[in-house]
Chains A and B, each alone.
Chain A
């Protein structure tokens, strides 16, 4: 586990979502992503690094207003396919001195699907029936999150400079099922004008931070260094692009670090995965490769007052036990 962090993390774990119905629970989770990033929960008082609402739609009105105002009102989250009235919200925040934008688009009829958009160039347009668009956006299209309702929990962590990590769990399970993090990278090249990456995965069987998921470009979104095209990337498994990450992986064989008695960790580098775009994009802050065989949610150094918690292949900055 990392014993110290490079970033200052602010955390809001184990937030119970609505149990009114499946649909309302899902709307609640979508709202949570926005409200958490904007620091709108009372427990987030005094947080820094939060996002601002640029514009939004609640399916009835749209504009440069927060139509998803806190507290959660399920009526604000209208889910319908693009072309029909639906909700969306555009958030912005400076990361590394450059403003980035996130769009949460409720353009799916199935209530546990949505679209997530990340862009450097400010999105423009937008209407009751279509989200704003950007010239350099990367998109998670028709992205699933947890279909469960009762017992669903949301977990968020935000650095004071705008990087974040989300998880979503069902309650009574052994794994989180949804995970999303966005980071400006350490050790990025000066010529890289797009040194921000996003990883988002839903995996009910293995968890979002399963090793093979992390190594797969399927779950990552980034832009080529000059912004001209999207960039296929993945996490380097000990410098090796082969998947699945199994035999020979050092974290398989190491549990307790023989030097400090803590569990081992290693930095995670991210790199381009297709010909023509092979590039070492940079290193993730604070999220580290973790021993796979540790129990899910293991917290170090103390189960009730820790520094890091482990989920499948990575250490996350959650420091209290996560309700799975």
Chain B
């Protein structure tokens, strides 16, 4: 487990979403958490009145109107969030983070999935029946939700705007959707957009991270979408870590950094995720460390994530 962090993390944890409006509420939580509309605490659990690294509103749609303002509101109102795919009337929300140079469009689509898109450039031409899109390559994250199911929403946000968020499903104690947007460490100086995106309908498993992959943009941003989608593999597997739960040196769990590379020829080592490490499968999900005192990390499937409290499903 990481015993200290390279970044400063801020947390919103274990926020229950409304049972009858779970998909809408998750969509709102994504937007509200990135805008700082729900309360954050620091790694010690102390309230942060003014979180850093927040994202800003670019445009939004409530199914009736498209505006450069926040049409979803700073309090959850399910009537503002219409869930449907492109071609039908639906809501969407575009956010921007200047520190990362990244745009995110939240699109609560149908079939219990989101169709969220990350991009390094503004996504345009949104309407009441179509989410905004961009000419350059973007990345479609499709974290899932499961209809009207109880669960909890969680986000960890760095003071520079990187985040990892996930939501749970109570009845089967599973994570049901994850999204990650992280500025990479050890990136090349010429890489103009060293940001890794990841979104998955299930969990932080090795197979999800390596097979479904996330993406970073072509480093120059010059490639068009048709040729520029660059899927990724996370190149460290956690297989070694499966040998042991705790390191005999210090009694703490082992961890390994996660490096990201572009697998589309000619390939590129793009950098390393800060503070998110591979975890041993011998440790059950929701194992946290240290075992006494203030929590710093929690195992979710195959990775250690920054945390300040245990995760409640």
- B residues with CB within 8 A of A: 188, 190-191, 219, 233, 235-241, 243-244, 247-250, 254-256, 259, 261-270, 278
Contact = CB atoms under 8 A, between A and B. Distances in A.
A224 B250 CA distance: 12
Interface size class for chain A?
Answer: 20 to 34
B243 A240 contact: no
Given A240-B239, A278-B244, A257 B268 contact: yes
A239 B268 contact: no
A160 interface: no
B256 A269 contact: yes
Interface stretch (A34-42, A248-256, A299-307): A248-256
Interface of A: 189-192, 224-225, 236, 238-242, 250, 253-260, 264-266, 269, 271-272, 275-280
A276 B278 contact: no
B233 to A, nearest CB: 7
Contacts of A272: 248
| 10 pairs of A and B residues whose beta carbons are closest in the complex | A239-B236, A278-B244, A254-B267, A258-B268, A225-B249, A259-B268, A258-B266, A240-B239, A241-B240, A191-B250
Contacts of B263: 253
Contact of B269 (A236, A239, A264, A276): A264
A240 B247 contact: no
A278 B243 contact: yes
Contact of A240 (B240, B254, B265): B240
A280 B191 contact: no
20 contacts: A189-B250, A192-B249, A225-B249, A238-B236, A239-B238, A239-B278, A240-B239, A242-B239, A250-B235, A253-B263, A257-B188, A257-B269, A258-B262, A259-B190, A259-B268, A264-B269, A269-B256, A278-B243, A278-B247, A280-B254
Contact of A280 (B237, B256, B265, B266): B256
Nearest to A3: B188
Contact of A239 (B190, B244, B256, B265): B256
Given A236-B240, A240-B237, A259-B219, A279 B254 contact: yes
B8 to A, nearest CB: 20
Nearest to A237: B240
B236 A257 contact: no
B114 to A, nearest CB: 30
A206 B244 CA distance: 31
B269 A279 contact: no
